[in-house]
Chains A and B, each alone.
Chain A
């Protein structure tokens, strides 16, 4: 196929516009560098009325919000989910992996939970504590200044708690707990489980004059039209476009990084999805931020004489050490919460309180920890509401089922009487959990796709078992009943399938040793001095913390390094 070359040369080409790419775009363009942002999906602005789903009612969708075209429901703000039309991936037999892709400006930051946790000092050096996995080549002190700057730039609410491995930051004040969260606090305290205000990047207080303040609709997963939650689209890329230093290429899917005969990057080639043609653009530096697995795919597909194995893959480790957060969940029925008075309890999009990891692994049969997230059911009904309208009748010796006004009364009686508990834990990265190029499958543009191979080990399974034991104790201490049976060993203790928590990291891991890692501590490929990876690929381990805040802190740090290196004419 003929490639259409663009003669313009950029200082930096950023591939992907999510958390890592958006952050890099902001820092690099603020420094006066000429940037191309290449995004595989369309333009998206949470404030665009034609794209907005915030504050829509369920009846505004003919399927009442059901998840036919968007896996998490009609109003969820993600273009693309476990499947993307024409862009498959494959999974090795007897293993599993689910891969969520959001193809749009801002990527998955438009739908995420806004849980913004710093990694703690221990999280960068876990191997020192349990001998498993690998330490990061950097420490908390290296990244702390960037977390601090990020807190102030983006805004995150939380409280100072002085917990060693849950570092405090520059917080906005949190919202008051909801009623069911008071039940959780009570249950957690009785169970000896730490409980503190949650830490979410939602503006409970004004942070500047360009973004709005939260108006408590509880719909951050729909992306905020007032820009009161953090999305890379609204907070990074859209403002950066106004500075005149950024060219945005949308619907442009990068296929490979182009290199010269010495193996240095000269730019990227991409498919314009609107016309199916291949184009190339030139840049002095290439920053990959397509998401951990997509960046791995691009590198592995970038084969050349200098890099026969794929770009930056002399270690053969690209795609390896893929790991996702572990997850298990349980719903708790609280009889005290039946026949509730209704009032507007939407609050922020997500929990107002949570439990950071509170135990010492020396006394446990699994390594690493998990945190507990609290969900609610006193929410706006969407498709699926009322499918088991009076199942809880069984707890009162009453008949389950029926119809008529009695049924209607039951629906109202139980509305808002459940609490969801979700454990989110740290997995141990393993070389034999990976993604690689599937030689037999191509996407609709003819580009080879990824094949996944992923299995949980006993470490993760035991962690999931512990989560359920904890949920049952919490349920009891809240005065509630944990619903359903505790999943058995055969049911893998109810652990989520790998990928399902959408925290996949580790495919281009960071390290000082080029034989044991793909990028160095500045997220630069060991093999090439002008290619960087700023998504979650470089994560050596992921703690039980949601990755976004760390992706961005690292991307900021890397961007400053790039600016410095360009100034010194080292790259």
Chain B
């Protein structure tokens, strides 16, 4: 099981649940380190904070499923993947705890959990059902009403603000995931040799912008990047 799978399973309870989640609290640190393979250069203090949050629970099952359902409508699955593959719900769960300090104005409680409550209330008013029990088309009817902000209004409705926040979280969560980055088409974060804008792209912008020879002549000749730099006394590069 890869790291993301295990996190997903634990937080979403898809392999049985909160029982596993609760049992994890009693696992010793060594095991936890293995489960939570977030290796991204943390200091000991940062690591401790992450572990604390990864091993506690903020949302209940219903709330998590509600968030999952909302997220799947904000960004529906496509051929590349879906909200679950992108770990969006796990991110909600983590941020809810990570930002549950007064400095973040108790974001988890006041914004994220509040969102679930408000969306549930609106569904109940409209359809007599909790959001989870509504059909996708019913939920879309609601979202059509609250997903467009009118910036000319001074006071946005709470539901509109909360939707914007949920949408922001979902879009961020999706596009910062492995599949989201693939979907977006970002091609970097890997060793390479930059030698200018690709020719086919330059071709596309012909008449708008282009390289001028004088500028390019001063730039690095990438075939000589491995040769040790030497200069004359005037600072002219010799190699």
Residues of A within 8 A of B (CB): 42, 50-53, 55-66, 68-69, 74-75, 79, 85, 148, 151-152, 155, 157, 159-160, 168-179, 182-183, 185-186, 197, 204-209, 213, 215-219, 336, 340-348, 379-389, 399-405, 407-408, 411-412, 415, 479
Which 4 A-B pairs have CB atoms at the shortest separation, nearest pair first?
A386-B171, A342-B185, A176-B196, A58-B176
Contact: B149 with A401, CB < 8 Å? yes
A249 to chain B, nearest CB (A): 19
Contact: A64 with B90, CB < 8 Å? no
Known: A51-B41, A205-B224. A178 touches B197 (CB 8 A): yes
Interface core residue of B140, B174, B218 (most chain A CB under 10 Å): B218
**In the complex, which of the residues A85, A380, A386 contacts B186, with contact meaning CB atoms closer than 8 Å?**
A380
A273 to chain B, nearest CB (A): 12
Known: A62-B50, A183-B209. A341 touches B204 (CB 8 A): yes
Kindly state the separation between the CA atoms of A168 and B147 in the bound complex, as whole angstroms: 54
**In the complex, which of the residues B176, B228, B236 contacts A383, with contact meaning CB atoms closer than 8 Å?**
B176
Known: A182-B211, A336-B208. A197 touches B218 (CB 8 A): yes
What mask results when residues 196 to 211 of chain B are scored 1 for a CB within 8 Å of chain A, else 0? 1110110011001111
**In the complex, which of the residues B176, B191, B221, B228 contacts A216, with contact meaning CB atoms closer than 8 Å?**
B191
**In the complex, which of the residues B76, B167, B221, B226 contacts A213, with contact meaning CB atoms closer than 8 Å?**
B226
Q: Cβ of B41: which chain A residues have Cβ within 8 Å of it?
A: 50-53, 56, 75
**In the complex, which of the residues A56, A179, A208, A407 contacts B40, with contact meaning CB atoms closer than 8 Å?**
A56
A selection of 21 A-B contacts at a CB cut-off of 8 Å is A55-B190, A56-B41, A57-B181, A64-B172, A64-B176, A69-B45, A85-B45, A155-B229, A173-B221, A340-B201, A342-B184, A344-B192, A346-B192, A384-B172, A385-B171, A387-B172, A388-B168, A404-B76, A407-B167, A408-B75, A412-B185
Interface locus among B23-31, B57-65, B92-100, B114-122: B92-100
Interface core residue of B99, B140, B168, B210 (most chain A CB under 10 Å): B168
Contact: A60 with B38, CB < 8 Å? yes
> Which residue of A is nearest B200, CB measured?
A341
Interface core residue of A148, A345, A415 (most chain B CB under 10 Å): A345
* B34 interface hit (Cβ, 8 Å): no
Kindly state the separation between the CA atoms of A207 and B230 in the bound complex, as whole angstroms: 8
Contact: A399 with B148, CB < 8 Å? yes
Contact: B188 with A341, CB < 8 Å? no
* B16 interface hit (Cβ, 8 Å): no
What mask results when residues 128 to 153 of chain B are scored 1 for a CB within 8 Å of chain A, else 0? 00000000000010010001110100
Q: Cβ of A347: which chain B residues have Cβ within 8 Å of it?
A: 194
Contact: A206 with B225, CB < 8 Å? yes
**In the complex, which of the residues A183, A216, A342 contacts B194, with contact meaning CB atoms closer than 8 Å?**
A216
Known: A173-B221, A346-B189, A387-B172. A401 touches B197 (CB 8 A): no
Kindly state the separation between the CA atoms of A222 and B197 in the bound complex, as whole angstroms: 24
Contact: A346 with B188, CB < 8 Å? yes
Q: Cβ of A218: which chain B residues have Cβ within 8 Å of it?
A: 188
> Which residue of B is nearest A169, CB measured?
B235
Kindly state the separation between the CA atoms of A213 and B39 in the bound complex, as whole angstroms: 25
Contact: A62 with B53, CB < 8 Å? yes
Residues of B within 8 A of A (CB): 4, 38-41, 43, 45-46, 49-50, 53-54, 73-76, 78, 87, 90-91, 94-95, 98-99, 104, 140, 143, 147-149, 151, 164, 167-168, 171-178, 180-181, 183-198, 200-201, 204-205, 208-211, 215-216, 218-221, 224-229, 231, 235-237, 239
Q: Cβ of A215: which chain B residues have Cβ within 8 Å of it?
A: 191-193
**In the complex, which of the residues A183, A204, A217 contacts B220, with contact meaning CB atoms closer than 8 Å?**
A204
Q: Cβ of A342: which chain B residues have Cβ within 8 Å of it?
A: 184-187
Interface core residue of B50, B216, B229 (most chain A CB under 10 Å): B229
Contact: A381 with B181, CB < 8 Å? yes
**In the complex, which of the residues A59, A173, A343 contacts B87, with contact meaning CB atoms closer than 8 Å?**
A59
**In the complex, which of the residues B94, B183, B221, B237 contacts A408, with contact meaning CB atoms closer than 8 Å?**
B183
Contact: A53 with B194, CB < 8 Å? no
Contact: B40 with A168, CB < 8 Å? no
> Which residue of A is nearest B230, CB measured?
A152
Contact: B209 with A344, CB < 8 Å? no
Known: A175-B219, A206-B225. A380 touches B38 (CB 8 A): no
Kindly state the separation between the CA atoms of A219 and B46 in the bound complex, as whole angstroms: 21
Kindly state the separation between the CA atoms of A412 and B171 in the bound complex, as whole angstroms: 11
**In the complex, which of the residues A59, A399, A402, A411 contacts B178, with contact meaning CB atoms closer than 8 Å?**
A59
Interface core residue of B74, B186, B195 (most chain A CB under 10 Å): B186
A143 to chain B, nearest CB (A): 16
Contact: A217 with B191, CB < 8 Å? yes
Kindly state the separation between the CA atoms of A157 and B206 in the bound complex, as whole angstroms: 28
B186 to chain A, nearest CB (A): 6
Kindly state the separation between the CA atoms of A489 and B87 in the bound complex, as whole angstroms: 45
Interface core residue of A50, A155, A176 (most chain B CB under 10 Å): A176
